Structure 1
Amino acid sequence: MTDFTQTRQQFILPEGVCYLDGNSLGPLPKATSARVAQTVSDEWGAHLITAWNSCDWMAKPRALGDRIGRLIGAEPGHTVIGDTLSIKVFQALAAALKLNPDRRVILSDTGNFPSDLYIAEGLLKLLPVGYELRTVAPEDVAAHITEDVAVTLLTEVDYRTGRRHDMAALTKRAHDCGALTVWDLAHSAGAFAVDLAGCSADFAVGCTYKYLNAGPGAPAFIYVSPRHAERAEPALAGWLGHKMPFAFDIDYKAGDGIDRMRVGTPPVIQMAALEAALDIWDTVDMQALRTRALELGDRFIARVEAATDLVLVTPRDPSQRGSQVSFAHPEGYAIMQALIARGVIGDFRAPDILRFGITPLYLDETDIDHAADQLIDIVATDAWDREEFKQRKAVT
C-alpha cells in the first residue's frame, strides 16, 4: 500500500500554496534538480557527445517508455517517449488511417481537447478529398461508431469536465465495426490505472508534464499495440525512427516495432527530469492512488456543494470521472483568480469552468478542506468582484 505522506515529502510545495492544478502542470519533485544537474555536468559536461553511448542517452526513450507503460497497462517494449503530444497524435492518427485504407472517417467528440482536433483537421488537408473529421457529443460516441469509421480519436478524460469515456466498451464497439482506436491519455496517465492491453487499444498517446510531474515541456509518449507494431507506418519519418539511423541511408527504412515512432533527437535534459519523477511513480500502487483520489474528490464536492451555488459538471459516479473536479459559474474566471490570489491554485477553462486536480501524491484532507473553505468564502462574499480578477491573462 502506498504511503502518501511519504510521497508528499518528495515534492517541493511552496509555503502558503495549496496546489490543485497538477492536472495542468505537476509540481517539482525534490530529486529533479539534482538529477538534471547530474545530467548536465556529469554526463554532458564530462562525456560530451560520447554520452550518447556511455550514458545510454540513445536507449532512454524506450526505457522510460516502459516505465510509463506500467502505469498505462502497456505490454513491455511498446511505448516510447519523445517529441510533443501533438506530434504523437499526428503519428498515431496517420498510422491508423493507413491501416484502415478503405474508410474515410475520423470520429471524435466535441469535448476533445481542441489541439487533437486541430491535428486531425491538418492531417486531413494533406490527404485526398473524401476524408472527414466527424465530431459528436461525448455521450453519443458509441452510437456513432459505424461501418464507415476508420478510427476513433478520443481523449479518455474530458479536459474540462473530467468525464471519463469507457475505454473498454468503446474500443470493443470500434473493433466490432472494423474501426481502430487512438486514445489520448493526457488526463489519464498518473491519474488512475489504465489498461491498454486489457482493452485491446490500438494506439495511445499522452504527455508527462501533468500528473506524471516531469516538468514544463516534458516529452510525450506513444503506444502501439503489438499487433500493429511492425505494420504501422510513421507519417513523420524522422531519422531516429530509421532502422539504422547511423547508416545515413538516403531512403527511409522503418525501425523495428515502437522504434519507428521515434522522430527527432530525444530531449536528454528533460528526460532526466522525467526519470526523477518516475522514481516516485515506481513506488505507487495505482489502485491505492485511485481510491484515495476519489475520497478526496468526493470530500471536495460535498463541502463546496453544501455552501455555494456552483454547479458540478464532473460526473458523480466515480467510474465515470477522472481525477479532477470541475464546477461551473458565470464568473468562473474571476473566482479562480481570486482563489489563486489566496494561494489556492486551480485553473479555468472557457467558457465558465473552474478546474481542480485531485492528486493524492501531495494532497491530503487538510489541503482539500482549505481549498473548499477559501472557495466558499470567495463566492459567499463576492470577493471575486474586482477588476483585477476579471483581466484575462495569457494562460488561464
Structure 2
Amino acid sequence: MNPATRISPRYLLQFGESAGYLDFARFGPPSHAVLETTANLLHESTTAGPDTVDQLLRQEIRARAAVARLCGTDTDHTVLLPNTSLGLFQAAFNFGGEVLVSASEFPANTYPWARAEQAGRRVVRRLPGGYATPEAIEAGLTDDITAVSVSAVDFRTGYRADLAALREVVGDRLLVVDGIQGFGVTEEPWQVADILVVGGQKWLRAGWGTAFAVLSDRALERMDPVLSGWSGARDPGLFDDEIHPPDQSASAWSLTHLSPITAGGFAVALELVEEAGPAAIAAGIAERIGEFSDVLAGFDAEIVSAVDRRAGILAFTMPGHSAESVGAALSAAGISATVRPEHVRLSPHASTPPAAADLLRSALGTLRRPRTASPPPTATHDVLTALIPAVPSLAAMLGPGTEVLLHDLSKLPDSIIAIAGEVTGRSPGGPITDLLLSLVRRNTTQDLTNYRTHGPDGRPIRSSTLFLHDTHGVAIGCLCINRLDTAAHTTTDGQPMESFAADVDSLQRFLVDRAVGKVGIPADLMKKTHKAAVVRELDQAGFFLIKDAVDHLAGRLDVTRYTIYNYLNEIRA
C-alpha cells in the first residue's frame, strides 16, 4: 500500500462514533482531541488571569495557520468564520456583477446570491439542474458574468466537480467554491478557487460554529467589503472614534472574532487532517464506499449518486421500497443515514470500520433477501477458508491430547474460526491468546515452534504457532497446535507463557490485572505516572486492539476514556 494512502492508527484512535454512524455529509462527530481542547480552553477561561484573554485569542492564529498550510497559502489570505453561509454571503455582497449559480445547489449556496440580488448588489444567472460540469458551465457563461459559484462536492450525489477544468473555463472570472463536502477528505486543487469557503462541522469534524474562507489575490484586489466589522478593519486595536477602512487582507471579511474556544477546537481538527493526510483519509473513505456498493449490488439496489467522480457520498434506492422504509430499516439496525424523499444517502468516514458493511447488509436483509451471497468485507481469507476442513483431520491424525485451531486475524480479538480437541477448552468465536495478541500488536509474526506453556487447568503444554501470510506478506491468520506434555512438570522454565481465555471479557480482565500487577500499585492508589505505565504495558500487549477496551480500562482506573486516549497519544507520539 502506498504510504501516502495508509491511514494513521493515531488518527483513528481519536474517534469513537458507532460503527453504524454513516452520516458525515450531515455532521461529523468531533474527535477526542477537539473535545479535550475545547474543555481545556473553557477551563482556562473560567480561571482567568492577567494574560488569559490574550492567550485564548492566539487560538485564531493557530487555526488560520493550519488552514493556510492545508491550502498552500498564507494567513493573510485566510479568515475564520462561524459557518459556510456567512462566507458565501460575504462572497455575494462584497463583489458586483453577474454570477452563475447552479439551480440544484444546496440552499446555502443559492440564498446569499438571491439576497444580494434583492439588495441590488448582484444579478443572478441560474444554471439548469444537473452536474456543474465544465461543459455546462461554459455553455452558461456570458460576457457579463463576473463570478461562478459551485460546490466542490454535490450534496445529493457526491459528484466531485472538476475544479481544475472549471478554472480553465471560468478564465479571469472569480471562481467561488463551497468546499464543505470535500475539503480535507478529497484530493482537489483547492488553490484554483478565488474564494474557498469551508464549514468545519461535517467532514473536518470540528463541531458547529467553525468555518474558514481563503481568498486569492484576484479576489482581494476586486472585493469591496461592505460586510466588514471592526475586527476586519485596518488597525482594529486603534480606538480613535473613527471608522477605519477594511483591511486589504482576507481579514476584511471578519465581523468579529470567532470564539477562541471554538477556534482552538477548530485548529486541532485541522491539524488532525494535516497529520493523517487528505490522501489517506480519502483512500479510507473510498474503501468503505466500495464495500457498501458491493453490499447494495447484492440487493438489486440502484446507486443514484456519482460513480466516476464521487467523493464520500453514496445515494441509493431500493426497488419496491420507499426511501422512508429503507431508512427505518437502517435506523432499526443502528445505522445513521440521511433519508430524503427520493433516496437514502450514506456517507462514511475513514474511521468507519469494516463492520459497517455487515450492519448495512443485515439491515437491508430485513427488507428482502440478497440476490446472491456476497461475502462481508471481513470475510475469511480464501487461504484460511481452505484450511478450516483440515483442522479436525489434523487433530485426529496427531491423536489424543492434541488441540488444533485456526485464527483469523481480521476478526480480532474473537479470532478462532476452527478448533478441534479439548486441551484448552475453547470454541469457535473465542479470543486469541495474550501472547499472540502482543505479537500481532508488534507486527512480530514469526513462527513459534515447540514452546512450553500451560493450559487453563495448569497442565503443561507444548505449543507451536505458524503464521499464515497473504501474497503481500501480511499476516492473515495462524495455525496453532497445543499438545499435552505429560513428561513435563508444571513449571515453564522461563519459556513463553500465555492465557487461554474462554471469552473476551476474561481476556480483558487478565490483561489489565497483569498490567496493574507489574506496576505494583493498587488502582485506587495510582498517580498519573502509574496509570500511564499501565496504559503503556497494555498498549504493548495489544489490549487496545479489543473493541471497547478503552471504556473497560477507564472503568478499572477510575478515569475518563479521554484520559486513556491522552495517555496513548503521549506514549505513541
Q: What TM-score do you get using the length of structure 1 for normalisation?
A: 0.83
Say if 1:172 and 1:66 are closer, same or farther in 2 by CA, change over 3 A.
farther
Aligned pair 1:219/2:210, yes or no? yes
Say if 1:228 and 1:179 are closer, same or farther in 2 by CA, change over 3 A.
closer
Q: 1:79–1:223: 8 Å Cα contact kept in structure 2? A: yes
Residue 358 of structure 1 is matched in structure 2 by 348
Show the 5 A alignment for 1:55-94: 55-57=55-57, 59-75=58-74, 77-94=76-93
Counterpart secondary structure, 2:148: strand
**Aligned-partner Cα distance in 2 for 1:262–1:224:** 13
Residue 53 of structure 2 is matched in structure 1 by 52
**Aligned-partner Cα distance in 2 for 1:256–1:363:** 42
C-alpha displacement at 1:324, in angstroms?
A: 1.4
- Aligned-partner residue type, residue 186 of structure 2: F
Residue 145 of structure 1 is matched in structure 2 by 141
Match of 2:180 among 176, 179, 186: 186
Say if 1:146 and 1:228 are closer, same or farther in 2 by CA, change over 3 A.
same
Show the 5 A alignment for 1:224-235: 224-235=215-226
Residue 161 of structure 2 is matched in structure 1 by 165
Counterpart secondary structure, 2:184: coil
Unaligned runs of 5+ residues in structure 1 are 382-396
C-alpha displacement at 1:23, in angstroms?
A: 1.9
Q: 1:237–1:252: 8 Å Cα contact kept in structure 2? A: no
Query: After superposition, what is the alpha-carbon deviation per residue over 1:196-229, rounded to whole angstroms, capped at 9, x for unaligned?
Result: 22x3x211101001011111x2321111003333
C-alpha displacement at 1:315, in angstroms?
A: 1.8
**Aligned-partner Cα distance in 1 for 2:274–2:161:** 26
Residue 265 of structure 2 is matched in structure 1 by 273
**Aligned-partner Cα distance in 1 for 2:214–2:41:** 26
Over the aligned positions, Cα root-mean-square deviation in angstroms equals 2.4
Residue 136 of structure 1 is matched in structure 2 by 128
Aligned pair 1:8/2:12, yes or no? yes
Counterpart secondary structure, 1:106: strand
Say if 1:240 and 1:24 are closer, same or farther in 2 by CA, change over 3 A.
same
Match of 2:303 among 304, 312, 329: 312
**Aligned-partner Cα distance in 1 for 2:181–2:221:** 28
Residue 432 of structure 2 is matched in structure 1 by none
Counterpart secondary structure, 1:275: helix
Say if 1:70 and 1:366 are closer, same or farther in 2 by CA, change over 3 A.
farther
**Aligned-partner Cα distance in 1 for 2:60–2:342:** 38
Q: 1:73–1:195: 8 Å Cα contact kept in structure 2? A: no
- Aligned-partner residue type, residue 79 of structure 1: T
Residue 27 of structure 1 is matched in structure 2 by 29
**Aligned-partner Cα distance in 1 for 2:13–2:353:** 12
Counterpart secondary structure, 2:177: strand
Query: After superposition, what is the alpha-carbon deviation per residue over 1:61-95, rounded to whole angstroms, capped at 9, x for unaligned?
Result: 34312313433444554222122211110112333
**Aligned-partner Cα distance in 2 for 1:282–1:131:** 38
Residue 387 of structure 1 is matched in structure 2 by none
- Aligned-partner residue type, residue 6 of structure 1: R
Residue 390 of structure 1 is matched in structure 2 by none
Show the 5 A alignment for 1:336-355: 336-349=327-340, 351-355=341-345
- Aligned-partner residue type, residue 316 of structure 2: F
Residue 393 of structure 1 is matched in structure 2 by none
C-alpha displacement at 1:331, in angstroms?
A: 1.6
The structure showing larger relative contact order (alpha-carbon pairs under 8 Å, at least 6 residues apart) is 1
- Aligned-partner residue type, residue 145 of structure 1: L
Which has the higher Rg, Structure 1 or Structure 2? 2
Aligned pair 1:109/2:102, yes or no? yes
**Aligned-partner Cα distance in 2 for 1:292–1:228:** 34
**Aligned-partner Cα distance in 2 for 1:194–1:77:** 22
**Aligned-partner Cα distance in 2 for 1:131–1:239:** 28
Query: After superposition, what is the alpha-carbon deviation per residue over 1:100-139, rounded to whole angstroms, capped at 9, x for unaligned?
Result: xxx4x321113210121111111110016x8234232234
Residue 255 of structure 1 is matched in structure 2 by 247
C-alpha displacement at 1:191, in angstroms?
A: 1.8
C-alpha displacement at 1:262, in angstroms?
A: 1.3
Counterpart secondary structure, 1:344: coil
Match of 1:379 among 348, 367, 373: 367
**Aligned-partner Cα distance in 1 for 2:69–2:325:** 40
C-alpha displacement at 1:7, in angstroms?
A: 2.1
C-alpha displacement at 1:259, in angstroms?
A: 1.4
Counterpart secondary structure, 2:306: coil
Say if 1:371 and 1:75 are closer, same or farther in 2 by CA, change over 3 A.
farther
Say if 1:151 and 1:347 are closer, same or farther in 2 by CA, change over 3 A.
same
Query: After superposition, what is the alpha-carbon deviation per residue over 1:275-297, rounded to whole angstroms, capped at 9, x for unaligned?
Result: 33234223112222223322221
Say if 1:11 and 1:292 are closer, same or farther in 2 by CA, change over 3 A.
closer
- Aligned-partner residue type, residue 265 of structure 1: H
Counterpart secondary structure, 2:143: coil
**Aligned-partner Cα distance in 2 for 1:48–1:226:** 40
**Aligned-partner Cα distance in 1 for 2:328–2:144:** 45
Say if 1:110 and 1:305 are closer, same or farther in 2 by CA, change over 3 A.
farther
Aligned-pair identity in percent equals: 22
- Aligned-partner residue type, residue 314 of structure 2: V
Q: 1:333–1:352: 8 Å Cα contact kept in structure 2? A: no
Say if 1:251 and 1:294 are closer, same or farther in 2 by CA, change over 3 A.
same
Q: 1:186–1:206: 8 Å Cα contact kept in structure 2? A: yes
Q: What TM-score do you get using the length of structure 2 for normalisation?
A: 0.59
**Aligned-partner Cα distance in 2 for 1:73–1:79:** 11
Q: 1:213–1:277: 8 Å Cα contact kept in structure 2? A: yes
**Aligned-partner Cα distance in 1 for 2:56–2:37:** 15
**Aligned-partner Cα distance in 2 for 1:68–1:375:** 39
Unaligned runs of 5+ residues in structure 2 are 370-573
Counterpart secondary structure, 1:355: strand
Show the 5 A alignment for 1:239-250: 239-248=230-239, 249-250=241-242
**Aligned-partner Cα distance in 2 for 1:70–1:136:** 36
Q: 2:147–2:173: 8 Å Cα contact kept in structure 1? A: yes
- Aligned-partner residue type, residue 331 of structure 2: I
**Aligned-partner Cα distance in 2 for 1:342–1:359:** 19
Aligned pair 1:118/2:78, yes or no? no
